[in-house]
Structure 1
Amino acid sequence: MTDYLSAISTVGFPVVVTFYLLFRFEKKLSENTKVVNLLYELIKNSKRK
């Protein structure tokens, strides 16, 4: 908790929130990429049959 308060006081609240959101969005984007790739493979395999 002290690290968060130190970061906020050093760089400012908007910067800390931006980095937090970017980290969360990056995680979600990588999960979505995996699902899209899986769907692509399923569609590609279903067209072969």
Structure 2
Amino acid sequence: MNMVTETTRDGMTWYECEKCGLLFDNVEDAESHEANCDAEDPSYIQ
């Protein structure tokens, strides 16, 4: 299931992971991340 949201900021289109809110400028990157995102344990956030 695709949870990526398209959003526009500063005149650019971004793709946001709805699970963790990370933004990507490439929809394939966003979908790849979202497919592997475990929002229950965002280990990369300090």
Question: Which has the bigger relative contact order, CA under 8 A and spacing at least 6?
Answer: 2
What TM-score does the superposition give when structure 1 sets the normalisation length?
0.30
Structure with a larger share of its residues in helix: 1
What TM-score does the superposition give when structure 2 sets the normalisation length?
0.32
Structure with a larger share of its residues in strand: 2
